[in-house]
Structures are given as structure tokens and as C-alpha cells.
Amino acid sequence: MQLWLSTLAQHAAASPDTIALRQWQDDGGNVAMTYSSLWEQVTAAAAFYRARGVSQVGLVMSNSPAWVITDLALLLAGVTSVPVPLTFTETQAHSLLRHCDLVVCDLQGEDHISTWLQPPSLRVDFAGTITHPGQLSLQVLDSDWICKVIHTSGTTNAPKGVRIRAHGLECLVTELLRHVEGTSWQHYLSLVPLSLLIEQVTGIYMTLSRGGCISFLPVNLPLLGTSVVPAAEYWSWVCRTVPDALVLTPGMVQALAHQLHGLNTAGVCKTDAERNCLLFGSEVVPFIACGGGAVSRDALASLLESGIPVYEGYGLSENSSVVSWNSPRHFRPGTAGKPLAHVQLKRTAEGELLLRSDSLFAGYLGTDPTACEWDEDGWLNTGDIADIDSDGFVTIRGRRKHVIITASSRNISPEWVEGRYRELPFVEDVCLFGEGLNELWGVFFIRAADERRHAALAAEIRHFGQHHLSSIDRVDQIILKTVFEADRADWFTVTGRPRRQKIAADLLVPVLENSTPQSEVTL
């Protein structure tokens, strides 16, 4: 990452008063930090960590300028960082932090540190300030040093620690910037936790490489995917901050499609410019990227028809995040785009996607039977079932290990079907089960506001399935569960992926053990 850090230093010298980071507050005000201040804080903090002699440092912090400063300082100092989500359990956090010499936290992270009982911790303030004489300049480091250990999706009690190479990460950022050439990427709004590598790549490294500004939500507003917060709350901040680049979850894209439908139905906007101002705070549509799960083709088509393209992509931590991505130059809605220039892809006879690239990881922290494997020629087994069309566009069908085979030999890729059911406006999420069972079961998570009309919702789910899904894919048995904020971390990862085993144990098994058959169950 030395080349990239050199670019940051050049921005600080050439445009010292340009705003690099902006922390928004509940009342709509904000606190800003310039490029010169950012670089000064980064070099001072880097000198501190180098002098302390640490080799691996945990980050337990909320999204903020302090997170960015700490991350950049560790890169500059040649110290491996281990970001940990605030939503992790003690067991999950311990699986990563037990290898650290020091844990850096902010006010929000300090509460977790006190219960996790991890290595010595250092509290930093809002601006990531560390008082230390002198500054650390750019140094020549081994290009293959391990710059990060990144958690995987966290669907288990001990998420794998993916060891990221500095050279691989720099290669990926460089290729991504080429891939989206022609976009501005001057103002990025960070909505999901920075503990996710994709958010570090798109939010920090791509934005600051372009000399742009990163905006952070108010600290009291939970980050996307960490709590049950209405999508409208996040969209209100999109309108206030007016970013030109966003990375959204599938749920947020679905919410955008619902908002668009509402505006079109109400007929309140005479022009596309008026509509865009209501949706984005600007007449210009921002670059909207999406990944991490399936988005319904109907939602994507309705947005595109209104001049709002959504650029889907696909990635995994083992490739330092992004593998393929749509872009304005190479765009095919409903696919995950073309692979980046440094990535090679192919499929096995069974349809599993294999990849080889310059940004592959350096192995895992510890061992795990679910880990991805690669062969002697450098091809990584991703575990994902995919199609690659004649033009090179990739379509992900689902996880190989998640394919459901019912007692009647129905083969179902649950991710795609779940994506279709999420088109229903009252469905917060859905998780399918049916392995070895006579029928396909669906656990539907709904908003608290809708819990009094379960019978009507179940009827809508059945009607949707009959009209939009084949008899193989549609759910036979429905479980309705109202989802509250306190429950979400138990059943979903920070990226929104369902913890299938936990959901099955808590919600499905008790119903199956009930000898009285029902077509729908309310929990």
C-alpha cells in the first residue's frame, strides 16, 4: 500500500485545505478534517505504533475519522490491523483478537472491550489523536507483508481470519479505480461498518485516492445491517449529505425501488430531476454499487427504466474483496459484472466458480474445515455456484453448501428464491429450509408494525409465490417472525447474511417438533 499512501501524502501537500473526512451530527451539523490535518494525524499515530513495537493491533471502533486515521497509521507503520465488528459476540471477537498485542477502541468500542477481556487497549478520541513526539515518514516495506486480518461473514462462533497481503490489496484498489474510470467518486457516504473490507476499499482507499471526501453518519444512528432501522432513515441522510458514490446492501436497493414506486404512483414529480432531488438530494443520480446478496431483477429493471442504474458486484474476503463488478462501460443488469482485469475465472463441471488473481489472500489465521481451498496452480475454490456468459459476465446462483435437496429430490438454491420473496415490502428478510424434508419451509422476518395482520401477510406470501415462482421454488410452509433490534445480531451477520443453523435451531426445529401440521405459523 506504499504507492497509495504516497498518493495520500501528495493530496495533503497539493490540496491541504480540501476536506477529507466529515462526521455528521444528529442536528445536521458536521465536523470536518482537511487532508493536511489527516496526514499529520496519520503520521503521528504511525510513529506511536512503530515506537510501541506492536506487530498486530485490533480495531474495535465505530465508523468515524478516528477509524480511518488508525487504519492508515497502521498501514504506514507496517503493523497488521484486525478490525472487529461491534456486533460480534465475545467468542467471535476472541477468535480474532487473541492474536493481537494491542486493541485500539473508541467510546463505543470501549464498552465491548471491558466485557471481552482482550489484550491491553488504547482509547483514542474523535480525531484519532495520539500525543507522540515526531512523525513517521513513508518507508519501504516488504510488498507481501500481511497488512490486515479480516473476519469472514461471521456465520459461525469462530469466523475465519483472512490474512490480506499489502501488495494484493493495492493491486485490487488500483484495478477497481480503473474499472470505474469516468465516475467522480468525490464524495462517499459510509453506511455499513468499516470492519468490512469492501467498505474500507470503496469508502477509504478509493475515495481518498481520488482526493475526495468520506462522510460518516451520526454516531447515534446504527450502521446499516447492525440494527433494524427503517430504510427511510438512511435515505434521509443520503439526501442531506448528497454523495456521488454509495455501496448499498440488497435490502437498501429494494427499499429504493419501493420509494421510487411510491413517488411514481403518487405522481408528485413532474420531471426526473425533481424525483432525483427527493431520492438523492440532487438532480444527479450517484454511482450506486451493490453486493453481498441477490437483488430482484424486477427491482433492478424498474430502477434502470427510471435512469437509476445499480452496479452489482461479487466478491469474497479471500480475494481482498471484489472479484467482479458492473461499471458504466461494462454493464449487464442482473449479473455481478465482469471480473476485474487481474482476476481469472472458470467453472468446474458442477458449476462451482474458481478464481485466480494477484490479490488472493495469504491463508487463514488458524485452521477451519469450511475454509476455501486452492490447487497447486493457484485456483481458489470459492464455494459459489455461478454462470459465466459468452461476454464474460458472471451470475452467482448461490452457495454450494446451501443448496437444498428435499425428500422429494427438489434441488433449490435458497439465495435466489429468498431474494424474490424480499421484494414484498413487509418482508425484512427470509430464510429457507427443506434439506431432507417433504416440504420447503420459509421463515419470514417481518416488521413489528405488521405483526397484527399475520394472516393477511401469509396470504400475500402465498399469492406472490404462485405468480412469481415455480412450483419447485415456492415455499410450502410459512413461519412468520416479528424481528426486533435485539434479535437481529443473533440471526444475521453484520453483512445481512442469515445464520442458518441458528435460525433453524431457534425457529424451525420447535415447529417441526410440534405434531400438529399447519400451513403457516406465527412466532
Instruction: Provide the CATH number for the domain around residue 454.
Output: 3.30.300.30
- Does residue 29 belong to any structural domain of this protein? yes
Q: What is the mean pLDDT of residues 301-312?
A: 95
Asked whether residue 394 falls in the same domain as residue 423, the answer is no
C-alpha distance across the termini of the chain, in Å: 50
- Does residue 240 belong to any structural domain of this protein? no
Pick from 265, 212, 219, 259: which is nearest to 239 by CA? 259
Cβ–Cβ under 8 Å, residues 517 and 483: no
- Does residue 175 belong to any structural domain of this protein? yes
- Spatial separation of the C-alpha atoms in residues 316 and 75, rounded to whole Å: 21
Asked whether residue 407 falls in the same domain as residue 456, the answer is yes
Task: Examine the fold and report which residue of 229, 247, 262 is the final residue of a domain before the chain moves on.
Answer: 229
Of the two residues 131 and 300, the one the predictor is more confident about is 300
- Spatial separation of the C-alpha atoms in residues 136 and 220, rounded to whole Å: 34
For 260-278, what is each residue's pLDDT tens digit? 999 998 988 989 999 999 9
Q: What are phi and psi of 440, to 5 degrees?
A: -90, 125
Pick from 517, 507, 497, 501: which is nearest to 153 by CA? 497
Which range marks the domain in which residue 48 is found? 2-229
Q: Which residues of 256-283 are buried (b: 16+ CB within 10 A; e: fewer)?
A: bbbbbeebeeeeeeeeeeebbbebbbee
Asked whether residue 377 falls in the same domain as residue 454, the answer is no
For 68-124, what is each residue's pLDDT tens digit? 999 999 999 999 999 998 888 787 788 888 889 999 988 888 877 777 765 677 777
Amino acid (one-letter) located at 43: T
How much of the chain, in percent, has pLDDT values that exceed 90?
52
CATH code assigned at 325 = 2.30.38.10
Which residues, 6 or more positions from 453, have their beta carbon under 8 angstroms from its beta carbon? Answer: none
pLDDT of 197 over the 60 cut:
yes
For residue 133, what pLDDT is reported?
A: 44
Residue 115 burial (C-beta neighbours within 10 Å; 0-12, 13-18, 19+): exposed
Name the DSSP class of 453. G
